[in-house]
Amino acid sequence: MSASAFLTVDSVTQVFPLDDGGEYIALRDINLEIRRGEFVSLIGHSGCGKSTLLNLLAGLDQASIGGILVEGRQVTEPGPDRMVVFQNYSLLPWLSVRQNVALAVNRVLRQAGAEERRQRVEHNLRLVGLQQAADKLPSELSGGMKQRVAIARALSIRPNLLLLDEPFGALDALTRGNLQEQLMQLCQEAGVTTVMVTHDVDEALLLSDRVICLSNGPQARIGQIVAVPFERPRHRLEVMQHPEYYTLRSELIGFLQQQRRLRQRRAELERQAEQVRSQASRATAVLPARGPVCTLPQASRIGFLPGLDVAPLALALERQLFDPQAVQLQPVAFNSWERLGQALRDGEIDVAITPATTPLRLSLGLDGHAPWPAITPMTVSRNGNALCIARALVEQNVSDRASLRQWLDQRQQPLHVAVPERHGMTELLLRHWLAGGDIDISNQVQFEPMWPLVMESSLRKQQIDAFIAGRYRVAAAVQERHGQVLASDHDIWADHPEKVLTCGELWASSQPETLLALCAGLMRAAERCDDSSERDALVQVLSQHQWLGQRASAALSRQFDRGDGRGLPMRFNHFHADRAHRSDPAEGCWILTQLSRWGWCPFPANRLEILSQVYRPDLYQRALEQAGFASLPLSRRAFALADGLVFDQDDPLGYLAQLPGQPTPAVRPLPLQAPSASANANATDTAAAAGSSTSSHR
Amino acid sequence: MTTTAPIGHAPRRRRRSTAAAILRPAVPYLVCIGGFLLAWQLLSLLIGVSRLPGPINVIVDTWDPYISQPFFDDGGTSKGLGWQILISLTRVAAGYGLAALVGISIGGLLGLNRFVGKGLDPVIQVLRTVPPLAWFPISLMVFQDANTSAIFVIFITAIWPIIINTAVGIREIPQDYTNVARVLRLGKADYIRSIVIPATVPYVFTGLRISVGLAWLAIVAAEMLKADGGIGYFIWDAYNAGGDSSSSQIILAILYVGIVGLALDRLVALAGRLIARGGR
């Protein structure tokens, strides 16, 4: 919270009770700061909670969670310092125009003399050009005139904050245009801070300093913030001729279109999930009712690759932290990420612990496969990677990035690095780090996907110069004195998302309870994984052969040796603390920038649509609540990697432009797979699975 | 001549159309009411003029003194129909006026105070369905006086729609208006004066209009049971007298009752329109 903010919306969540006893979460974790004198617009589709937020600012409603500060004081009730111009004007029909304005003036300026009050009323009527109509009743006025009265009434009491709820929505284009210019002029002269709800993109651009885009409700969040840089005073024609006008306009319209498509997609998905569920229950229903009725849910298959990241899963299964009524898990181990991705697409497994890049790559269809809509409700682990170089390099004085570059410059061949997965999270991190050290990625480095299992032996046999993998693999190599750690997460991106839970969009919407129970169990286990007093128990669990086996103890030793004698402990995997589980679209946005940076896909013009489909903070929050943890709000704040370059999710292209080496990638929309195309295959899968699991009960 | 001919035609045609324009709206009334009177006359001829006089018989029988001299007074209860109606109207005025006063106050209380509004709702819902005449015996026992009892019956009949409509009117004040009051931080007195009263007036008058009809219904019935004078008494008295023109007198009185009821209804509606339009 900076001290300069005039108005602060602090982690506001608004929940309305429903008649059926449930609740409707209209707004979730809204954080916003507005400067004095700023004009801010709220834009979004109907039902996104714009007016709810405005009512909270006015004090007409109280936020369920969080609060609103105006000049450092909390808003607890409405007051004339925060005057509202309501959507339907809210003039009192039994009072004349003059009386309507006078009601406000008389009330707010009680101490002033009658003559002063009268002058104030007349002055404000003159401002909006309504002296002639002063004695008319509101029913005798046109819509535009009524709105002018409402504005005059609002401005007459000189509020600090003016709140406008779709002020020009019901007016014809000509009247609207005139009133917009008048309002702009009046607000500027009065220096009043203004928040306006609108659904008109041009209006928002003409009037605002910033446009706040709200995502679809329920659980609406701030999807994007667009700064409008036009100089004031503004005039419509000049603004429209501004070179940036159409860029900003298409940005806003793009946002709204993406939100609309998302909503249609969610509805379609819900319909199909319903179909799948009814098919599954029909499959169960044909069974003759013999023996005890089995109420246990069918087993969900969860795929993973052995590594430290599976610690929460292993611990949760061992300690029975999953709600047995909601989820039965059958862990399936894989030895390569490619195989695991294939299994996920084919429906062999329902859900998997995957690298953080996987959900986006599956959804975009980046690896030569058709796009397959995937979602991620939570991050399973953060950190845990290290770059290990061969002894031979160490002996040639490669000890950091600069010396690596010198060494590479002298050598003819590129650096041969093994990565667990082509175009995966580890490769992105490594590329980013190497490029940051002025190493020419395309000519000086060669990445080779390799099963993590064989990386160490390849390093020993000098088939590769280095590998980047989980700390578990690196620890083994260092312990055997085959290599040395050159860099770890701390040098690249501390607390980066490493493994996330990934599942198909349709499975998530047809088995919501299962997914939530799975997430909640993983979260409970993750808390124990972070607890150093539980570490010995964790070693014991992970030492079982189906997880890591004998090497678990080396991987989990408290002082992890980098092998360079410096003895600096490597960062341990980070499972729970500091909102580690968050499913953060901003991090996904960073991944998108990197995917396009290396030319694997164009930068998606519809990034918000993609990110909102793939990243599901709503599920993250519900799972947190189910696990019994406080649901901490997501911050929209910009973050920086270890190189200090700030990444702002509202300006990913600006970030890309600052990165060294690469030309700016193409920007174009990447169509998402419609849910229907993949649904049929999946629906039959699920139905078949339901059939097979029921037959096994017989 | 050839040039003036069309000019001469035009006004005539226009005159004809003006006359038609005046007549046309009256046509349905003339036709339907005429048909009704005709059917009535035929019906009376069918079952005997002595049992059900036709419209012509009614006018002939009651022309003197009831139609021609509405304000004759022979002393006692033998008075012209004008007097009888005035007596009834006085009673209605007393009972209805009291009902309006008390009803608006109670309704206002119920509307403003959610607790009382909720708690008293069952009582009101039960009492409002009680037929007017059911109150009559108990009020006779309490007041021991026919006139006061009749006024009480009017009061108790007329009060419920007023209470209910006032309370609903206050509860239904549009959110917009209360939001304006909240943003301007109007005090309770200011709020009632500037918002509640003007916003509720149309509802109150709806209640008053329903009530005046009910009150007029109730007074005629109450006077038939036990009263000295009044239009209801006149009807019952005529029936008991059983003279030649009794049935004609009754029919004439019924007609007057209807016309007065209609006039009362329109009067209250007009008052409501005037007040709602003129501001507070």
* Per-residue model confidence as pLDDT tens digits over A376-406: 999 999 988 888 899 888 888 888 888 999 8
A594-599's contacts with Cβ under 8 Å and 24+ in sequence apart are: A594/A428, A594/A431, A594/A432, A595/A357, A595/A360, A595/A361, A595/A364, A595/A366, A595/A423, A595/A428, A596/A656, A596/A665, A596/A666, A597/A656, A597/A659, A597/A662, A597/A665, A598/A423, A598/A428, A598/A431, A598/A441, A598/A662, A599/A665
More confident call, A568 vs B234: B234
Nearest CB among A88, A107, A157 relative to B176 is that of A88
Q: Which chain B residue has the Cα nearest residue A88?
A: B176
Count Cα atoms within 13 angstroms, Cβ side, for A559.
Answer: 5
Neighboring chain A residues of B190 at a CB cutoff of 8 Å: 107
Q: Which of A672, A692, A613 is nearest to A347 (CA)?
A: A692
At position B232, the amino acid (one-letter code) is G
Give yes or no for A86 touching B (CB within 8 A): yes
* Phi, psi (rounded to 5 degrees) for B57: -60, -40
> B62 Cβ partners below 8 Å, 6+ apart?
B245, B248, B249, B252
Tell me the sheet residues that pair with A197: A42, A165
- CA A97 – CA B200 distance, rounded (Å): 20
Note if the bond before A660 is cis, omega within 30 degrees. no
At position A422, the amino acid (one-letter code) is R
A83/B183 Cβ within 8 A: yes
> B166 Cβ partners below 8 Å, 6+ apart?
B103, B104, B106, B107, B108, B110, B111, B200, B203, B204, B207
Q: Which residues of B touch A (CB under 8 A)?
A: 176-177, 179-180, 182-186, 190, 194-195, 198-199, 201, 276, 279-280
The interface residues of chain A toward chain B in range 128-187, judged by CB-CB distance below 8 A, are 157
Neighboring chain A residues of B182 at a CB cutoff of 8 Å: 60, 77-78
Q: Kindly report the average pLDDT of chain A as a whole number.
A: 84
- Average pLDDT (A49-61) is 91
Q: Which of A330, A329, A308 is nearest to A542 (CA)?
A: A308
Structure tokens at B239: 């029936």
- CA A213 – CA A50 distance, rounded (Å): 9
Question: What is residue A609's predicted lDDT score, i.e. its pLDDT?
Answer: 87
pLDDT level of residue A681 (50, 70, 90 thresholds): very low
Give yes or no for A62 touching B (CB within 8 A): no
Does residue B270 surpass a pLDDT of 70? Answer: yes
Q: How many CB pairs under 8 A join A and B?
A: 49
pTM value is 0.70
Inter-residue contact A272 to A506 (CB < 8 Å): yes
B183/A58 Cβ within 8 A: yes
Reported as a single tens digit per residue, the pLDDT across A495-526 is: 899 999 999 988 998 888 999 999 999 999 99
- CA A345 – CA A358 distance, rounded (Å): 12
Q: How far is B117 from chain A (nearest CA, A)?
A: 22
pLDDT level of residue A326 (50, 70, 90 thresholds): confident
Give yes or no for A82 touching B (CB within 8 A): yes
A78/B177 Cβ within 8 A: no
Neighboring chain B residues of A157 at a CB cutoff of 8 Å: 184
Strands A379-382 and A497-504: antiparallel
Inter-residue contact B193 to A107 (CB < 8 Å): no
Neighboring chain B residues of A92 at a CB cutoff of 8 Å: 177, 180, 194-195, 198
- Average pLDDT (A443-454) is 87
> A367 Cβ partners below 8 Å, 6+ apart?
A338, A341, A361, A422, A423
Question: What is residue B165's predicted lDDT score, i.e. its pLDDT?
Answer: 93
Neighboring chain B residues of A104 at a CB cutoff of 8 Å: 184
Question: What is residue A560's predicted lDDT score, i.e. its pLDDT?
Answer: 58
More confident call, A406 vs A283: A406
Nearest CB among B183, B190, B195 relative to A78 is that of B183
CA dihedral sign of residues B63, B67, B73, B76: positive
From residue A441, alpha-carbon distances to A414, A417, A427, A596, B191 in Å are: 9, 11, 11, 15, 73
More confident call, A661 vs A199: A199
Question: What is residue A562's predicted lDDT score, i.e. its pLDDT?
Answer: 66
Neighboring chain B residues of A90 at a CB cutoff of 8 Å: 176-177, 179-180
Neighboring chain A residues of B177 at a CB cutoff of 8 Å: 90, 92
Region of poorest pLDDT, from A38-52, A463-477, B259-273: A463-477
Tell me the sheet residues that pair with A161: A82, A193
pLDDT level of residue A693 (50, 70, 90 thresholds): very low
Neighboring chain B residues of A105 at a CB cutoff of 8 Å: none
Question: What is residue A500's predicted lDDT score, i.e. its pLDDT?
Answer: 94
Neighboring chain B residues of A107 at a CB cutoff of 8 Å: 184-186, 190
B182/A92 Cβ within 8 A: no
Does residue B260 surpass a pLDDT of 90? Answer: yes
Query: Best mutation site among A92, A136, A153 for testing chain B: the one with the most B CBs within 10 Å?
Result: A92
Question: What is residue B275's predicted lDDT score, i.e. its pLDDT?
Answer: 83
Structure tokens at A249: 């306009």
Give yes or no for A80 touching B (CB within 8 A): yes
- Average pLDDT (A84-94) is 87
- CA B148 – CA B159 distance, rounded (Å): 16
A108/B194 Cβ within 8 A: no
Query: Best mutation site among A54, A83, A91, A94 for testing chain B: the one with the most B CBs within 10 Å?
Result: A94
Q: Which chain A residue has the Cα nearest residue B174?
A: A90
Tell me the sheet residues that pair with A303: A332, A352
Give yes or no for A76 touching B (CB within 8 A): no
B279/A94 Cβ within 8 A: yes
Neighboring chain B residues of A86 at a CB cutoff of 8 Å: 176, 179-180
pLDDT level of residue B279 (50, 70, 90 thresholds): very low
Region of poorest pLDDT, from A40-54, A235-249, A470-484: A470-484
Task: Name residue, tokens 């044909």.
Answer: A286
pLDDT level of residue A293 (50, 70, 90 thresholds): very low
Question: What is residue B16's predicted lDDT score, i.e. its pLDDT?
Answer: 59
DSSP letter, residue A533: G
Neighboring chain B residues of A94 at a CB cutoff of 8 Å: 198-199, 201, 276, 279-280
ipTM of model: 0.71
Give the Cα-Cα-Cα angle A571, A577, A580 (nearest 5 degrees). Answer: 85
- Average pLDDT (B54-74) is 82
Q: Kindly report the average pLDDT of chain B as a whole number.
A: 85
CA dihedral sign of residues A497, A499, A500, A502: positive
Using DSSP, state whether A500 is helix, strand or coil: strand
Reported as a single tens digit per residue, the pLDDT across A653-674 is: 889 888 886 677 888 888 777 7
- CA A574 – CA A552 distance, rounded (Å): 16
B183/A79 Cβ within 8 A: yes
- CA B104 – CA A583 distance, rounded (Å): 59
Reported as a single tens digit per residue, the pLDDT across A122-181 is: 988 888 888 888 899 898 888 888 988 998 899 888 898 999 998 888 778 887 888 888
Question: What is residue A688's predicted lDDT score, i.e. its pLDDT?
Answer: 40
Structure tokens at A381: 């682990």
Give yes or no for A92 touching B (CB within 8 A): yes
A90/B179 Cβ within 8 A: yes
Q: How far is A524 from chain B (nearest CA, A)?
A: 45
Neighboring chain A residues of B180 at a CB cutoff of 8 Å: 86, 90, 92
- CA A120 – CA A112 distance, rounded (Å): 10
- Average pLDDT (A116-120) is 90
Nearest CB among B176, B185, B199 relative to A80 is that of B185
Question: What is residue A556's predicted lDDT score, i.e. its pLDDT?
Answer: 65
Neighboring chain B residues of A103 at a CB cutoff of 8 Å: 184, 194
Give yes or no for A356 touching B (CB within 8 A): no
- Average pLDDT (B183-204) is 89
Question: What is residue A696's predicted lDDT score, i.e. its pLDDT?
Answer: 36
Give yes or no for A629 touching B (CB within 8 A): no
Neighboring chain A residues of B199 at a CB cutoff of 8 Å: 94
Give yes or no for A103 touching B (CB within 8 A): yes
A80/B183 Cβ within 8 A: yes
Query: Best mutation site among B175, B177, B182, B184 for testing chain A: the one with the most A CBs within 10 Å?
Result: B184
Neighboring chain B residues of A83 at a CB cutoff of 8 Å: 183
